[in-house]
Amino acid sequence: MSATVARNAQDALPRHAERLFVAGGWRAPAGGATFAVVDPATGEELARVADADVADGRAALTAAVDAAVGWARTPARVRSELLRAAFDALIARRERFARLITLEMGKPLAEARGEVDYAADFLRWFAEEAVRVAGRYEPSPDGRGDIVVSHRPVGPCLLITPWNFPLAMATRKIAPALAAGCTVVLKPAEQTPLTSMLFAELLDELGLPAGVVNVVTTTDAPAVCGDLIDDPRLRKLSFTGSTAVGRRLLAQAADGVLRTSMELGGNAPFLVFEDADLDAAVEGAMQAKFRNIGQACTAANRFLVHRSVAGRFAEAVGARVAALTVGHGLDEGVAIGPLIDEPARRGVDALVADAVQRGATVLAGGAPEPGPGAFYRPTVLGDVPADSRLLREEIFGPVLAIVAFDTEDEAIALANDTEYGLVSYAYTRDLARGHRLIERLETGMTGLNTGIVSNAAAPFGGVKQSGLGREGGREGIHEYLSTKYTLVAR
Ligand code: ADP
């Protein structure tokens, strides 16, 4: 554990934490209730935030509906410049946002700074995309007239975000929605609502028109969001979170045939072939596994390593992991912060215990770290048996599980043997093999000789039960646009 230093949270907190951001104003929730947000590294209360009920949620949607026509008609250049101003303002306030992210979510400060930059990048990217929504015009082959294809904003959106990237998951949805001309209600995760409130304050200061972005914090997401999903005025749901909740929301959205985007769970394979640059693979493994304390849907979950290099790989990552400092994310030199809460720690520990009981070898860590927060020792497990739960389930913690393979076909079969399909990673110096992997790995994204794929300029998303739709890239804005075709008679 790191040494503890004084951490004054007050200067990082949003000014209006106990209020909801609705229709351009800061209002107390109808019932007057609030709930506590805690620092997961200490268990101490950071602030209280407004606990919205169904009526508050509905008021936020009404504000988004009222603002929808005006915002859709606002010239794309104006929307673009607002997003660009938000990018500049966020970068200027990087340190404050980073501190707040670390305080409420737990990730090390250096990673929180990285998240601010990543989050800001969506604002810049979609500022650039806002003015490039092209349609097309072409003669109808039957000679009856001309086909005109244009794109219209889908309308008011509900955006539901998780706690693991409190800022980036919000801007990854807000930026394309605003660029497309849509208004939104954001429902941040109850563990990390403060960052969203601080971002709403930034947008408010920049003069975003009232009702374009509304933020509703609540401990009752099923009721508040359920009511909005059933409301015919809502036109789009974008969700990032667990597959279990995503499935439920999809079923609910089916009643109103609501447009949806779903970024759900992952079970990423990380393949290391016998011809890989092993140093690069170890470096990539550390990033793909331990970034965000392993709490990312893109986190590598299964390390499939060719038998001829598995021993060397395990030894190298074991040495790197033993040197990682666990502690409060604001402390100097900390690489591993706390897990988000105690249930999360129990879940990770149960997965490790299951694998060990089946015969896995503990090469590093393997147990909770004492402390007031939900710390778990960064862990490396070797020879993980095929029937271990952690090869099937998302670990969402700092546990690196190694399985040896003998042939490329076997590696690909193992990699694809999951209902998830978000991302895969592969290290090889063989170009032809690299191309075979791109084709055969059943994932929406692949990191070839890299452990990080996240990039505002690229389409992020999964296949199979990892989700529907893409965020970022040229594709991202189309999640918030509907295609309109007109036949113009000759
Ligand atoms: P995690 O397991 O990462 O916490 P969840 O899927 O539980 O992921 O949560 C992601 C987001 O979905 C959070 O904002 C949470 O409040 C919200 N959420 C959870 N359950 C529901 C639900 N039934 N309806 C709407 N939102 C929900």
Residues with CB under 6 A from ligand 1: 160-163, 187, 189-190, 221-222, 225, 241-242, 245, 248-249
User: What is the secondary structure of 241-305 as a DSSP string?
Assistant: S-HHHHHHHHHHHHHTT-EEEEE----EEEEE-TTS-HHHHHHHHHHHHHGGGG-STTSEEEEEE
SS3 405: strand
Domain ranges of the chain: 3-265+466-487, 268-417+423-455
Spatial separation of the C-alpha atoms in residues 146 and 265, rounded to whole Å: 44
Which residue, judged by its Cα, is nearest atom 2 of ligand 1? 242
Residue 349: both structure tokens together: 């520990």
Mutate to test the pocket of ligand 1, among 160, 167, 220, 249 (most ligand atoms within 8 A of CB): 160
Which residue, judged by its Cα, is nearest atom 11 of ligand 1? 162
Q: Which of 18, 115, 263, 471 is catalytic?
A: 263
Spatial separation of the C-alpha atoms in residues 47 and 452, rounded to whole Å: 33
Amino acid 224: pLDDT:
98
Spatial separation of the C-alpha atoms in residues 174 and 169, rounded to whole Å: 9
CATH 3.40.50.300 correct for 268-417+423-455? no
Query: For ligand 1, what atom is nearest to the CA of residue 164?
Result: 3
Picking from 442, 392, 402, 435, the residue whose alpha carbon sits closest to that of residue 421 is 442
Neighbours of 251 (CB within 10 A): 9
Amino acid 10: pLDDT:
79
Answer yes or no: 297 catalytic: yes
Picking from 220, 125, 147, the residue whose alpha carbon sits closest to that of residue 472 is 125
Picking from 343, 339, 397, the residue whose alpha carbon sits closest to that of residue 371 is 339
Q: How far is CA 52 from the centre of its chain?
A: 23
**Cα 441 to averaged position of ligand 1 atoms, centre (Å):** 28
SS3 of 467-490: EECCECCCCHHHHHEEEEEEEEEC
Cβ contacts of residue 254 below 8 Å, gap of 6+?
none
Answer yes or no: 182 catalytic: no
Residue 199: both structure tokens together: 């971002």
Amino acid 28: pLDDT:
97
Q: Please name the residue ranges forming H helices in 359-407.
A: none
The answer to whether 305 touches 284, Cβ cutoff 8 Å, is no
**Cα 330 to averaged position of ligand 1 atoms, centre (Å):** 27
Query: For ligand 1, what atom is nearest to the CA of residue 190?
Result: 16
**Cα 189 to averaged position of ligand 1 atoms, centre (Å):** 7
Q: How far is CA 165 from the centre of its chain?
A: 5
In CATH terms, the fold of domain 3-265+466-487 is Aldehyde Dehydrogenase; Chain A, domain 1 (3.40.605)
Q: How far from 75 is each of 80, 130, 183, CA to CA, in Å?
A: 9, 10, 14
Which residue, judged by its Cα, is nearest atom 22 of ligand 1? 222
**Cα 50 to averaged position of ligand 1 atoms, centre (Å):** 17
Q: What is the pLDDT of residues 388-430, one digit of tens each?
A: 999 999 999 999 999 999 999 999 999 999 999 999 999 999 9
Q: What is the pLDDT of residues 135-146, one digit of tens each?
A: 999 999 999 999
Q: Which of 18, 111, 297, 408 is catalytic?
A: 297
Q: How far is CA 35 from the centre of its chain?
A: 24
Which residue, judged by its Cα, is nearest atom 16 of ligand 1? 189
Spatial separation of the C-alpha atoms in residues 478 and 82, rounded to whole Å: 19
| CA angle 169–280–418, rounded 5-degree value | 55
**Cα 147 to averaged position of ligand 1 atoms, centre (Å):** 42
Query: For ligand 1, what atom is nearest to the CA of residue 188?
Result: 14
The answer to whether 158 touches 225, Cβ cutoff 8 Å, is yes
Mutate to test the pocket of ligand 1, among 196, 245, 393 (most ligand atoms within 8 A of CB): 245
pLDDT tens string, the chain, 490 residues long: the values are 554 444 677 789 999 999 999 999 999 999 999 999 999 999 999 999 999 999 999 999 999 999 999 999 999 999 999 999 999 999 999 999 999 999 999 999 999 999 999 999 999 999 999 999 999 999 999 999 999 999 999 999 999 999 999 999 999 999 999 999 999 999 999 999 999 999 999 999 999 999 999 999 999 999 999 999 999 999 999 999 999 999 999 999 999 999 999 999 999 999 999 999 999 999 999 999 999 999 999 999 999 999 999 999 999 999 999 999 999 999 999 999 999 999 999 999 999 999 999 999 999 999 999 878 999 999 999 999 999 999 999 999 999 999 999 999 999 999 999 999 999 999 999 999 999 999 999 999 999 999 999 999 999 999 999 999 999 999 999 999 999 999 999 9
Spatial separation of the C-alpha atoms in residues 236 and 219, rounded to whole Å: 22
Amino acid 209: pLDDT:
98
Query: For ligand 1, what atom is nearest to the CA of residue 246?
Result: 6
**Entry pTM:** 0.97
User: What is the secondary structure of 78-106 as a DSSP string?
Assistant: HHHHHHHHHHHHHHHTHHHHHHHHHHHH-
The answer to whether 163 touches 338, Cβ cutoff 8 Å, is no
Q: How many CA atoms lie within 13 A of 144 on its CB side?
A: 6
**Cα 165 to averaged position of ligand 1 atoms, centre (Å):** 14
Amino acid at residue number 377: R
Q: What is the pLDDT of residues 237-258, one digit of tens each?
A: 999 999 999 999 999 999 999 9
**Cα 267 to averaged position of ligand 1 atoms, centre (Å):** 19
Inter-axis angle of helices 109-130 and 168-180, nearest 10? 10
